[in-house]
Amino acid sequence: MTTAPAGVDHVAINVPDVPAAIVFYTETIGLSQNFTRPDFGFAGAWLDTANGQQVHLIELPAPPNVGQHFALVYDDLDVVVPELRGRGLQVTDPVPVGDTGRRQAFTTDPWGNAIELHQRPGAA
């Protein structure tokens, strides 16, 4: 048995308006709503990436952005960034992450949650 995690199952973020966040994260960012979320007694939603990892939305005020973020992996930032800008998002230009072969760009959701757009080495 090992204590090393096999991966990240999900991240949870606070948004003050779950229905609006579902629209943003599905129609703008490209996640899919997962309708298997049980009733936890508070508003929220589960959203899936193409590989089954999830972003969980919890209806609470978003905390101030002081550097925390989550990263979504994309195959080609040179395609994704202009597409997201065309949807009205302000997105930074993709930049290399040191000499790792990775690239990143950043945007925020309408409530100030920072989102890293990440491209792994060898993609695109």
CATH number at residue 114: 3.10.180.10
Q: In this structure, what is the dihedral angle of CA atoms 108, 71, 36, 23, given to the nearest 10 degrees? A: 20
Residue 31 covered by a domain: yes
Strand intervals (E) in the chain: 10-15, 32-34, 44-48, 54-59, 69-73, 95-96, 103-108, 114-119
| Greater pLDDT, 43 or 124 | 43
d(CA 40, CA 28): 26
pLDDT tens per residue, range 21-47: 999 999 999 999 999 999 999 999 999
Look at the pTM and tell me if it is higher than 0.85: yes
> Per the domain annotation, does 124 fall within a domain?
no
Whether residue 5 is contained in a domain is answered as no
Range of the domain at 99: 10-119
- Mean pLDDT across the stretch 90-96? 98
Residue at 72 is within a domain: yes
Number of folded domains that form the chain: 1
Order the strands of the 44-48 sheet from edge to edge.
Answer: 10-15, 54-59, 44-48, 32-34
Q: What confidence tens digit (pLDDT) does each residue in 45-74 have?
A: 999 999 999 999 999 999 999 999 999 999
User: Does residue 2 lie within any of the structural domains?
Assistant: no
Question: What is the reported pLDDT for 124?
Answer: 72
